[in-house]
Structure 1
């Protein structure tokens, strides 16, 4: 991990309120399923309209390891990791349980802050602002990304696990 990333994580951790046992339990809901699948994406105020096709970059299978604060994203059709394009790294949930922060190990994005909407053993939903239809010149919209435990047959192959072994 790069030195600026480590320093950033340490500063963020120091500025967070202390986690209570109940909050730590809430965070562990991410581990209640070994894998999560994006089931719906909608624009703020229009939950009845699924726009997953317009936001493929946020759609996939994901794994969360609260013990190591590690995440990894995978393509839903092949199970291949998105790790080399910013789809894996460290994460934390702020002490107030309102923000879910991703710090990718590599790729063009350094930190992604997402508003935590729902987190339990049946649903993980976050929201964040992105350009409409993920076209950089479009105005921003807040999208909500809904996940459910993944029970399909696509096998995921972790690039993080492979990297840890080397």
Structure 2
């Protein structure tokens, strides 16, 4: 949730930075990457990626419904709104979440190009922040959206944990 809160900071949307890792959201992603590297793992980045993808899907569905569009119509429009590779990858990740394949898209990206994976995380973070602010502009307070996302992510974590056997 800290990353989604940071995505609401206008400083996280600046284009005039030398490195996107200098943005508030970029610093959080970099900290997770460094902590994972110190542990010789990828758990933190994997959790961030999965949470961001789920949040992006949920936010897309909510924004689409407010615009009286289907999710597919909304995602088609979102795809047309950007032409760079990371934007297309972001939309592919969100679409993939509909079919339980979004994490696979991100996993392949990480395996192929770590810099592009970090760019994907930054794009998802920026998209989530922009979506939360758009919902706020039409009447849903950011705190309400964040609380809803936190509940949804917690529910997803609960479903993902294996049941204890006796």
TM-score scaled by length of structure 2: 0.28
More helix by share: 2
More strand by share: 1
TM-score scaled by length of structure 1: 0.28
